[in-house]
Structure 1
């Protein structure tokens, strides 16, 4: 079969011929419907020598959905042909966090290598999943459309949920960055806290138009005027919750400027920026956190929201042969929602 693989540091990924994996005891072979292309993949592909602990090569694609193709001996709970979503963070399964479904915070990180981020992922016709505990039923959702639920939606959902207690009537949430993650965060905010005012900030007018369609109450072009407008909306207090989906130094500086006392600044984007913290900044008792992915129970909730039509990712599909093109477009900011590779048509 063909697989789109990361082969050499600081080199473009390439399409290669590999063997179809055979599921061993407890394992599952998935026929891939869709595999999302994520900005974190670009950070990995462009990482300097020595910055990664991954063994190369491996197949990209850590947002995956498809159909059960074959069950290894002892693998139960699913049948061949079932449409499934693949939970991304693969933990040890035995530590206290894994036991409650928080494999994203596995206490044995040496055993935690997700498919597409160190192990072979879903940008191939088939993908090997180590356990059925990483599979969730999709019901009537199309795997080619649903793949981004496993990261873009789950990561946004987890980030919003940590602050949900702050988002009552009269509250304000600001989403910095209206790309794929930001668009999903806006929808999650509206689904979980309809009473909050949601403000989207971006450098792209086109992405702000999309943010408005996703439910943002106000959209602002990034800059000093945006900071001033947030202050006006919040009567000088600042936003209750600021979600930085970009994570570069200028967006983090903006996040601090528009945060409020007892608020939350959540850094979701992995742009590599730095946020100075001292007695005077951010605002007093403003919590700053950088969450990672989300839990299995949260992914179940995300699927429920998608099945109810409360959240939906804008998806642009690419055949496996055009995976490289999809990443070039992603790099240049030309994907409005999420690029999804569809290896099986």
Structure 2
């Protein structure tokens, strides 16, 4: 089968031929229908030197995956060949407190997991291939009626990650609240929809690109403002001077975090969504009182089920740009150049 593999650190991945795996006990082989192209892959490809990550090379990229059950190993029940499924990407030990809660992103026994702090496409073979071998049936989630694998694939990360961030702030997203989403890309355009679908809060969207701001409006944003304008003034006007109850920074840079702090409300939430960086200047007066600042990583398996059901009901729509597996390098190039709006999905 074909697979898009990272062969060595700080080198471009290559499309190559590898053997199609056979599922062993408890394993599931998924025929890939869609694999999302995520910006975090570029961090893995471009930034990490040998020894920085506890992963072995080579491995196939692709951590946003959906398709159809191809075959199952001994002991697997309830997953028949041909069943459309999504794959929960983070793979923990399955036995610690966090894994038992379905939050395998925060596995507390990573030495017992298939790969330390990773999963499909992150240290182990992912879905940028014709087939994906999933090491446990618990990571395979049947798709609700009306949802196809191409649509579902990006929801496993680009949908799940902002959903987890929004969900943890639900108590602050009241009908009188305002949420600000900074960066309307693959995660951001879904973050806007998630806030609108699950709360009654108003949404202000911020981006540098006119096409991204238009996508934000189509996604339900009440206000879309260019980052070059006085965003803080706009937010003050929209909130009667109080600031945003929840800020979701889907970029993660010094500039966006500085903006986020300047528009946050006392007792509000500021969450960095995705694999971003940046610094928050901390002092007694530099941050609104009791503004909680946190990072999140992906989401839980039960939350993935909720995201898929929202999409099946038509409440979430991913702006998808399809690429064949032969054109996967073009997809990553477009992502790196910033010419994509929405999410690129590779469809073997």
Q: Number of residue pairs matched? A: 342
1:317 aligns with 2:318: no
What's the CA shift string for 1:101-153, capped at 9, x where partnerless? Answer: 11111112332431100000000000100111001111331102210010000
Q: Per-residue deviation at 1:224? A: 5.4
- Identify the match of residue 307 of structure 1 among 306, 312, 325: 312
* 1:211 equivalent in structure 2: 216
Query: For residue 117 of structure 1, what is the aligned residue in structure 2?
Result: 122
Please point out which of 273, 276, 284 is paired with 1:279.
284
SS at match of 2:242: coil
2:168 maps to which residue? 162
Q: Find the aligned partners of 1:233 and 1:29 in 2 and give their Cα distance.
A: 50
The residue matched to 2:280 in structure 1 has which SS?
coil
Q: Report the equivalent of 2:227.
A: 222
CA 1:48–1:74 in 2, change beyond 3 Å: closer, same or farther? Answer: closer
Contact 1:77–1:132, Cα closer than 8 Å, also in 2:
no
Q: Aligned runs of 1:97-176 on 2, under 5 Å?
A: 97-110=98-111, 111=113, 112=116, 113-139=118-144, 140-176=146-182
- Gapped runs of 5+ residues in structure 2? none
CA distance in 1, matches of 2:274, 2:227: 16
CA drift of 1:334 comes to: 1.1
Aligned to 1:270: 275
Residue 271 of structure 1 deviates from its aligned partner by: 2.9
Distance 2:269 2:147 in 1: 33
In structure 2, the residue corresponding to 1:104 is in which secondary structure?
A: helix
1:264 Cα deviation after fit: 0.2
Match of 1:18? Answer: 18
Cα distance in 2 for residues equivalent to 1:312 and 1:265: 25
Match of 2:77 in 1: 76
2:68 maps to: 67
Q: CA deviation at 1:55?
A: 1.0
CA contact (8 A) 2:94 2:104 kept: yes
Shift of 1:11: 1.2
Q: Does 2:242 match 1:241?
A: no
Deviation at 1:272, TM superposition (A): 2.0
Measured in 1, the distance between the counterparts of 2:41 and 2:52 equals 14
Cα deviation for residue 66 of structure 1 reads 0.4
Is 225-234 or 82-91 further displaced after alignment? Answer: 225-234
Secondary structure in 2 matching 1:32: strand
Question: Tell me, which stretches of 5 or more residues in structure 1 are unaligned?
Answer: none
Question: Could you say which residue in structure 2 is the equivalent of 1:191?
Answer: 197
Shift of 1:169: 1.8
The range that moved more, 42-51 or 285-294, is 42-51
Report Cα offsets for 1:154-209 as digits up to 9, x if no partner.
Answer: 0010000111111112210000000110000000000011x211000000011000
Secondary structure, aligned partner of 1:282: coil
How far apart in 2 are the matches of 1:169 and 1:149? 26
- In 2: Cα distance, 1:152 partner to 1:281 partner: 31
**Residue pair 1:36, 1:63 contacting (<8 A) in 2 also:** yes
The question of whether the paired residues in 2 share the 8 Å contact of 1:231 and 1:258 is answered with: yes
Deviates more, 1:277-286 or 1:214-223: 277-286
Q: Pairwise CA RMSD of aligned residues?
A: 1.0
Per-residue CA distance 1:24-77 (angstroms, 9 max, x = gap)? 110010000000000000011011424322211100000000000011011112
Q: Is the 8 A contact 1:248 1:270 kept in 2?
A: no
Displacement of 1:232: 1.4
Report the TM-score when normalising by structure 2.
0.96
Partner residue, 1:44: 44
| 1:213-258 C-alpha deviation (Å, 9 max, x unpaired) | 0000000111451111111111111100000000011001100000
